[in-house]
Structure 1
Amino acid sequence: METPEAFDRLLRERSAALLRTAYLLTGDRHLAEDLLQSALTKTYLRWETLRDEAAAEAYVRKVMVSIYTRWWQRKWNGERPTAELPDVELLDPYGAADDREHVRRLLAQLPRRQRAVIVLRFYEDMSEKEIAESLGISPGTVKSTASAAMGKLRALLAEPADGVGAAVDLTQVEGRGGRGAGPVGGGERA
């Protein structure tokens, strides 16, 4: 069987970026190469079912994560005896919940359009184009609205909240793409 020209182009143009992703997943150059090779093999076998080259690259990334997850699940993560006990940092069990609530309150202070853009961008991990289509606005309006909203959120974070300075990292609360963040109420119309 001959290799499709599009698959060869994917290898030439995107293999460095795909290898970088594999390395970030594994933390080891040799494992990253093995991971990428396995993912490319699976992609090649499914090549005829993929819509286009962009779908193929996304498929390779999805397969890499799937394979890596299986490798990780098989790995034994039990206890290992050591001569010294490691220092363990105790985390505040309620800190994350407090941060999420604080971010919800901050979001409620944004106008509706700004809040919608921020939630769709950072909680639902949608692209600017997808947000523009969802809200019926231009991508440029999405960019300027997101910029204005982030500026307002930074200003709100700089203000003391309930007598205590607010130090919440917005990108870390429920993470990017944290689906199911739930509706955020309040605020005024844009």
Structure 2
Amino acid sequence: MSGLLLVIVSAIFVNNVVFARFLGICPYLGVSRKLDTALGMGFAVTFVMTIATAIGYVLHYGILVPFKIEFMQTIMFILVIASLVQLVEIVLKKVSKSLYNSLGIFLPLITTNCAILGVALIAIQEDYSFVTSVVFAFFSAMGFILAILLFAGIREKLEEADVPKPFKNVPIGFISAAILSLAFMGFSGLVK
């Protein structure tokens, strides 16, 4: 059990997909203007990342490895991710039209979110078991949610702040993201 705990702590804090691996930066910067939109994107990414890793694991070890066609894993993961994003888009359109509209173009862009593909590939490269892969994917997504919510909260406060004109919007956003990333570097020695 301590092995899973290490994977969980590492996925959320130490090897956070946004701050340590620099994956998923596009939605991190693009959908983090409001907390509710960031949370919606985080949940969509969590669903797609967890399910894509699970399905990808099964397909990798069930089809690619036995037929010795592991070189197809990237294409296979992309097809799985694209299919899941279509499913999420259809469900959100029916269940929560307002969230669907607020996510806008960023919802289909989950398909190209490198964090999802990266986590699925890392789980295979690290030779995790099925359970560990799914736990790793889920808690990597929790790390993504933590990152995007922290940044959205900061950006909401920055909208009210008296920021010098040359630093308004994008520049202060990048400075804040850099400082937040530096803060997460404090976790770097926690888990090997």
TM > 0.5: no
Larger Rg computed on CA atoms: 1
Higher RCO structure, 1 or 2 (CA under 8 Å, sep 6+): 2
